């Protein structure tokens, strides 16, 4: 494969409209040297199925955050009540009940915050995966995308194409 052909192929991948036919040997070469990521259609479809409910998960997480924030506000209100002057005049049983309720609420909020943090991590991983899948382009029954070295090679070929266009890419 000539350098000019590689440059055209990489450019078409970045433009997401591959019209050039590339042999499987050349695809294997580009993939094994780290310029391309090649994914089978089955794996691509499975990954897209995992990503299909990303928006709903994000909405659910936002709703949980809002609920958590309202619970925190209610807890802050309860804590402020324990610092008021009227709290000093309440009997011991009411004071203990209020303090126990505050501790229970603090525990519930900390569990909720841990759950939210775990869900945020999972959503961030899905967002990274979606970004990867968004760069994929179908060609010859597989999906391909440029890797970091592939993007750098495309830039190098764009700059040096007038000197290396007719040379073999290796």
Same domain, 61 and 97: yes
List all residues 6 or more positions away from 33 whose beta carbon is below 8 Å from its beta carbon. 149
User: Is 142 part of a structural domain of the chain?
Assistant: no
7 is a domain residue? yes
Mean pLDDT rounded to a whole number for the chain: 87
The total domain count for the chain is: 2
Structural domain span for residue 151 = 3-35+147-164
pLDDT tens per residue, range 5-25: 888 888 888 888 888 888 888
19: tokens are 């019209």
Q: Is residue 85 part of a domain?
A: yes
- Secondary structure, 3-state, 69-132: HHHHHHHHHHHHHHCCHHHHCCCHHHHHHHHHHHHHHHHHHHHHHHHHHHHHHHHHHHHHHHHH
pTM, whole model, 2 decimals?
0.70
Q: What is the mean pLDDT of residues 68-77?
A: 91
Q: Do 99 and 56 share a structural domain?
A: yes
Determine the Cα–Cα distance for residues 137 and 143; give it in Å rounded to an integer. 5
Considering the domain architecture, whether residues 58 and 123 belong to the same structural domain is answered as yes
Q: Is the pLDDT of residue 170 over 70?
A: no
Q: Are residues 76 and 112 in the same domain?
A: yes
Examine the domain organization and report whether 64 and 123 are in the same domain: yes
**Residue pLDDT, tens place only, 22-49:** 888 888 888 889 999 999 999 988 888 8
Q: Which residues pair with 145 in a beta bridge?
A: 37
Share of the chain residues as helix, strand and coil, in percent rounded to the nearest 5:
75, 10, 15
What is the share, in percent, of the chain residues with pLDDT greater than 90?
31
Specify whether 72 is located in the same domain as 123: yes
Provide the pLDDT for residue 108: 92
């Amino acid at each position: 494969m000539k350098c000019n052909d590689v440059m055209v192929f990489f450019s078409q991948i970045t433009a997401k409209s591959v019209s050039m036919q590339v042999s499987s040997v050349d695809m294997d070469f580009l993939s094994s040297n780290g310029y391309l990521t090649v994914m089978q259609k089955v794996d691509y479809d499975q990954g897209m199925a995992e990503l299909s409910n990303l928006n709903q998960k994000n909405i659910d997480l936002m709703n949980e955050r809002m609920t958590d924030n309202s619970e925190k506000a209610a807890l802050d209100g309860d804590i402020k009540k324990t610092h008021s002057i009227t709290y000093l005049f309440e009997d011991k049983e009411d004071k203990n009940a209020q303090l126990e309720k505050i501790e229970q609420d603090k525990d519930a909020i900390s569990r909720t915050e841990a759950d939210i943090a775990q869900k945020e991590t999972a959503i961030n991983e899905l967002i990274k995966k979606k970004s990867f899948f968004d760069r994929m382009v179908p060609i010859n029954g597989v999906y391909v995308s440029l890797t970091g070295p592939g993007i750098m090679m495309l830039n190098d070929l764009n700059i040096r194409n007038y000197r290396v266009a007719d040379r073999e890419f290796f």
